[in-house]
Structure 1
């Protein structure tokens, strides 16, 4: 992490005259905390864990020591399962990855613009992982299993078209067609009221497929096609605001 970036993160555009000395004191105190936690001497922490490099610092806690790293590795594995068409293993892997979450990212950390950007990135990654796990569950016919989570997620993310489309598919697949159509109406109202736009192509296709279906659990060709999206295409079809 460059010293200049740490400066902006801690003090914004108006650092104090003594910012470098203060930053070095912060680093020393952090090394002492790490020493107490790990049982190492402060000098060992400086040499192995929180190292001084040219123009900045490197925190090296080792592979797998952070839950964020374990989450990212699991998501990468799930992506390979999805691309290979192994939905069951993808669901298991994504479920394990998402269980590492115990609340919002960096919940107890006060940060600046850099950390806030990272927080948003990680939170968005979680939403994408959830969407792909639900997509795999839908392809496996696990309609009941996804309903409760989708009901909550669509309330928490009222403008997320992908999650609403999946909720509509799950409801329709359980003969709850009227509720599926109501989900679309709610989404459309939210988009029009908040952003002045109509729903995107993907969720409109789901809506039209439900309107044209005969009822029952069978999906027509269009609905089946919409359900069968993979990791490589979801980023192009989902809109999140």
Structure 2
């Protein structure tokens, strides 16, 4: 079974889509797919579909949704010539819940995590070309926001937030790697969009400031800091972090030969870039 969640939901068995069009069965499949090869309790599925006050018919209705998913899986298995394998072998009833077996299929989330992990290890080893390449490959797996076409209840919402945070972390590290490779001009357009999309993300703003400065736009880099500071004070009542303040002072005081530190991701540290 092949599972894609980094964008629209797409689950395929034998190359045939088993993704339902109805919203609630689609929601059930999304939660099962994210937890593939792991049991998902019935209570979790019910809470995902109906919140804290489910109807009395919730369990029976959930069973109907599972039956519908098995019908789709059975049709895909039949078209793929796997008559000996039943839909119940793929979408398994386990004590207290259900389990979706992915077998040897591909999962875009697992591939993203593998490539991103290689990128992070390359960053730790200061192998910036490899880090940038692996993280770019990981991010290319995303075709939109995670599960963007699935209605999300409490459990899917938490999972989607986790996935989006992982995506943002990989993006942050990839930009840091490319800044260290001197690709500041190539990054400017992308960073301009990103700081508009994430107005409170200080690491991206720091990278934006570095890219502006190194492109000969010192005043714009300083203005970017002031824009961020105004936004943080107005919306959160906070000053920018000490790390970002240090970067701003570095740009402000640097002479013609001065090179400000590049903001890194995560802890907001500053690391010099030669």
User: What is the Cα deviation at residue 186 of structure 1?
Assistant: 0.8
Aligned residue for 2:166? 125
Q: Which of 180, 205, 208 is the equivalent residue of 2:221?
A: 180
TM-score by length of structure 2 reads 0.78
Q: Distance in 2 between matches of 1:64 and 1:173?
A: 45
Aligned residue for 2:202? 161
Structure 2 contact 203–266 (Cα < 8 Å) conserved: no
User: Unaligned 5+ residue runs, structure 2?
Assistant: 1-39, 270-274
Aligned residue for 1:4? 43
Aligned residue for 1:35? 74
3-state SS of paired residue (2:46): helix
3-state SS of paired residue (2:99): strand
Deviations along 1:87-145, whole A, 9 cap, x unmatched? 10010011011111111111100120110111111111111111100111111111112
User: What is the Cα deviation at residue 64 of structure 1?
Assistant: 5.6
Q: Distance in 2 between matches of 1:63 and 1:135?
A: 35
* Larger strand fraction of residues: 2
User: What is the Cα deviation at residue 41 of structure 1?
Assistant: 5.2
Q: Distance in 1 between matches of 2:61 and 2:185?
A: 55
Relative contact order: is structure 1 or structure 2 higher (C-alpha 8 Å, sep ≥ 6)?
A: 2
User: What is the Cα deviation at residue 35 of structure 1?
Assistant: 2.9
Q: Distance in 2 between matches of 1:63 and 1:79?
A: 26
User: What is the Cα deviation at residue 34 of structure 1?
Assistant: 2.5
| Gap change, CA 1:206 and 1:33, over 3 Å in 2 | same
User: What is the Cα deviation at residue 236 of structure 1?
Assistant: 2.4
Q: Distance in 2 between matches of 1:33 and 1:7?
A: 21
Structure 2 contact 244–268 (Cα < 8 Å) conserved: no
Q: Distance in 1 between matches of 2:229 and 2:73?
A: 50
User: What is the Cα deviation at residue 37 of structure 1?
Assistant: 3.6
User: What is the Cα deviation at residue 66 of structure 1?
Assistant: 2.0
3-state SS of paired residue (1:235): coil
| Gap change, CA 1:153 and 1:42, over 3 Å in 2 | farther
Does residue 1:13 correspond to 2:52, yes or no? yes
Q: Distance in 2 between matches of 1:163 and 1:36?
A: 47
Q: Distance in 1 between matches of 2:239 and 2:103?
A: 47
| Gap change, CA 1:196 and 1:171, over 3 Å in 2 | same
Deviations along 1:151-178, whole A, 9 cap, x unmatched? 0000001111000000001111111101
3-state SS of paired residue (1:202): helix
Q: Distance in 2 between matches of 1:95 and 1:139?
A: 15
* Larger helix fraction of residues: 1
Q: How does 1:21-170 map to 2 (within 5 A)?
A: 21-38=60-77, 39=80, 40=82, 44-47=86-89, 49-62=90-103, 65-170=106-211
